[in-house]
A and B are shown apart, each in its own frame.
Chain A
């Protein structure tokens, strides 16, 4: 082969190689972009697929949510629902990332503390407008989480947070169920002195600072207190909050609180109670199943939160909700709203709240308590006797507000920072955030 022929052959070979490489790049680019092909969720057969992201499925009995979704799909044969499920913390991170990047799922589970931030970022839809557009009668909704007067989330299931009591430890200590704060201090001390357990537990870890709304503020709300002004502004330095923090400090200094609380998470707290290491805790009714499952022999009951001595008014009962909302950028608003409407319908909502051991978000549904856990029946009485209280719901940067409070509370407990000083610092930072 002469050099000219070899050169041509080499050039042809190089051209082929370059073409192969170009195809590889093309394939790579196609691979990178293939995920975008189904972004609109429109299928070839005219069906629409919508995504529903929530943390509910892992907390419900197996197949409960999937069964409801199947029913929805049967009633709406042109809509497919893709369930995206995960633990609460994981869903929260994914929803925040989705909000930041504008890739939220069509329909999503919402905690009350997220709503303000997503609404102001414009990533979740204004449901007041949506309900008006589709002619929905919202009088059947028990509540709506509003920002600037418009609803952005609808509570699907509500969970009350009463005081859980370990009856065996109480009996061993010869203590009666406390109804006031001073009785509570006394009982907690009795249990701590007479048993190997602690009187009370609060999970104040900073990873999830929701211990502030679960373990601390309910004391305030139970006695009719508030942490807000009449017009919804911050009032962390008011007398109610001050007294509540002083009460927690008294428990801390008396050594009746379970050790490790400053880095404890909610699940650790429930575990302490489940294992009989703590006599009293504030917790969600959603944990009844978990406690029964992990410690079937544990004898426990739920009682109303003790109140300030001499208080006779109505008690605020802390609650959390599984809220539902939809993406502001969904390409299928009608189908997304149909799913929300279905979940809030009397039948589906009653069924879902029954599975979850919670109270229904649809005001027309009365929970069926005939076969319910006796503890749940007691809780329903507590819920009916008080009023729902969850002041962090709908506030801006609610998690951050709790974290600020938590950090200052930790200074009070661990470093004896004066309460006045700590609450002034909280008020100052909250004012900036509001």
Chain B
């Protein structure tokens, strides 16, 4: 009896301590998500005092909308290209910063330069790249001067180049996070493994493929999953550089949803789009959590 009372007392104390966090989670997470899902099932929420329940109609409308298809297509290209490039660049720069072939002073300089994009806010990055990619900007100047281009290009204004241009901006902005994480992983790999492999006659490529990559795999998988989630949420960079244009060439799910809500005031349809977005993120988050559990 006493033990049962102790047990209940323990539980009450634990829940009492947890309750501030639980309240915050409920107010800041569960409630907004619940409201968005509820909005997506009604018609003309917010702008109409008496919205009606329309079930899944907004989801059906969205899935039939060609703009949504374009946004989904662009988001897929943008996310996969960004994450792939983040991984390759992050690994390449981390390897460079970890090499014993360079003196520490040089590595410090490189480390400072490589991490620079991470220190800037997204608004600064957007403005900076708008200037760089301007038809009269540095990018065109360099490429025309060295003879790569005959004439300046409209990197952000040309429908054929705009998605490439914003992806390039996002790659530049996002690789340092990969680089720093992978560098930490590289520094944790025992030098004995490389020595033993060298003694066995393994060359640099074999050592990289058989030691570096397997040792970094847990970090690479975690980082890739996280980056897939973060990059799919990218909004500010696109909005401040192209606004989703020209035409719909850089329209992502995030800008599509924003326009539905704040340009057309279709908050219910925007909510349905957001829920769709949430499902994709939830799947990625689930994969991430499973991977973390497996690691533990």
Q: Are A29 and B23 in contact (CB under 8 A)?
A: yes
Across-interface contacts of A206 in B (CB, < 8 A): 242-246
Cβ-neighbour of B47 out of A121, A400, A415 (below 8 A)? A121
A-chain residues with CB within 8 Å of residue B13 when the two chains form the complex: 14, 17-18, 21
A-B contact pairs, 17 of them (CB 8 A): A7-B2, A17-B17, A18-B12, A21-B17, A25-B16, A25-B20, A32-B27, A93-B262, A205-B242, A206-B242, A258-B135, A259-B135, A259-B154, A260-B157, A262-B159, A262-B246, A414-B247
User: Are B159 and A415 interface neighbours, CB within 8 A?
Assistant: yes
Beyond A263-B245, A411-B247, 12 extra complex contacts between A and B, CB < 8 Å: A14-B13, A18-B16, A25-B19, A205-B242, A207-B240, A207-B244, A259-B135, A262-B154, A262-B157, A262-B246, A397-B264, A410-B159
Is there an interface contact between B27 and A277, defined as CB atoms closer than 8 Å? no
A410 touches B247 (CB 8 A): yes
User: Inter-chain contact count A-B, CB under 8 Å?
Assistant: 108
CB distance from B92 to the nearest CB of A (A): 31
Report how far A100 CA is from B267 CA in the complex, Å. 9
B224 smallest CB distance to A (angstroms): 30
Pair B159/A414 contact, Cβ less than 8 Å: yes
- Residues of B with C-beta under 8 A to A259: 135, 152, 154, 157
B130: A residues at CB distance < 8 A: 268
Q: Is the CB of A28 within 8 A of B242?
A: no
A residues in contact with B259, CB < 8 Å: 403
Q: How far is the CB of B158 from the nearest CB of chain A, in Å? A: 8
Residues of B contacting A100 with CB < 8 Å?
Answer: 46-47, 267
Interface residues in A361-418 by Cβ distance below 8 A to B read 397, 399-400, 403, 406-407, 410-411, 414-415
Contact of B157 (CB < 8 Å), options: A96, A117, A263: A263
With the chains together, A121 CA to B242 CA distance in Å?
A: 30
Residue picked from A25, A262, A407, most chain B C-beta under 10 Å: A262
A24: Cβ under 8 A from any B Cβ: yes
B151 to chain A, nearest CB (A): 10
Residues of A within 8 A of B244 (CB): 206-207
**Nearest chain A residue, comparing its CB with the CB of B18:** A21
B241 touches A263 (CB 8 A): yes
Q: Which chain A residues (255-288) contact chain B, with CB distance < 8 Å?
A: 258-264, 268, 277
Tell me whether B263 is interfacial, beta carbon within 8 Å.
Answer: yes
Known: A206-B245, A208-B243, A403-B259. A263 touches B156 (CB 8 A): yes
Interface: B277 (CB within 8 A)? no
Q: How far is the CB of B112 from chain A (nearest CB, A)?
A: 31
On whether A260 and B156 interact (CB within 8 A), knowing A206-B243, A277-B136, the answer reads yes
Within residues 1 to 54 of chain B, which ones have a CB less than 8 A from any CB in chain A?
Answer: 2, 6, 9-10, 12-13, 16-17, 19-20, 23-24, 27, 46-47, 49
A263: chain B residues at CB < 8 Å are 156-157, 162, 241-243, 245-246
Q: Does A122 contact B (CB under 8 A)?
A: yes
B10: chain A residues within 8 A (beta carbon): 14
In the assembled complex, A131 has its CB within 8 A of some CB on chain B: no
In Å, the complex CA distance between A28 and B20 comes to 7
- Say if the beta carbon of B141 comes within 8 Å of chain A: no
A407 CA to B247 CA, complexed, in Å = 6
Residue A66 CB within 8 A of the other chain: no
Q: State whether A414 touches B246 (Cβ < 8 A).
A: yes
A260 contacts which chain B residues (CB < 8 A)? 134-135, 154, 156-157
Chain A residues with CB below 8 A from B46, complex form: 100, 121
- Interface residue B276 (Cβ < 8 Å from any Cβ of A): no
A263 to B154, CA, bound (A): 10
Q: Report A-chain residues with C-beta under 8 Å of the C-beta of B288.
A: none
> Which of A17, A117, A208, A264 contacts B16, CB < 8 Å?
A17
Interface string of A22-42 (1 = CB under 8 A from B): 101100110010000000000
Question: Is B24 a contact of A205 with CB atoms below 8 Å?
Answer: no
Decide if B164 is an interface residue (CB 8 Å cutoff): no
Q: Which residues of B contact A7 (CB under 8 A)?
A: 2, 6
